[in-house]
Amino acid sequence: MHVMLLVVTDVYYDHGLSVVLTSGRDGVHKPDSLHPKGRAVDFRRYAGADMDAICHMIASRLGPDFQVILEPDHVHIEFDPREK
């Protein structure tokens, strides 16, 4: 998760955006959420920014063990390695 935070910081900063973590292990999440396990975090989504491109860059740098999901009001990133 530490590497993920560094990648998100680099990509957001490259786009002139501040990194704001909006949820980690706190808050209310779906029953199968990885948030309570410390394997998912949410970041601020910025209006006017190309969030699709930003999420694509983050996902390509993190690789297949991370899922980067652009939600309507935040960016959700989780560490969820898939069996190969």
Q: Which backbone phi and psi does 59 adopt, to 5 degrees?
A: -60, -40
Instruction: Identify the domain containing residue 53 by its residue range.
Output: 2-79
What's the confidence (pLDDT) of residue 82?
76
Q: How many beta carbons lie within 10 A of that of residue 61, not counting itself?
A: 16
> Domains in the chain: how many in total?
1
CATH number of the domain enclosing 38: 3.30.1380.10
Q: What's this model's pTM, rounded to 2 decimal places?
A: 0.91
State the pLDDT confidence band at 31, using cuts at 50, 70 and 90. Answer: confident
84 falls within a domain = no
What's the confidence (pLDDT) of residue 67?
96
Report DSSP state, residue 79. Answer: E
What's the confidence (pLDDT) of residue 50?
97
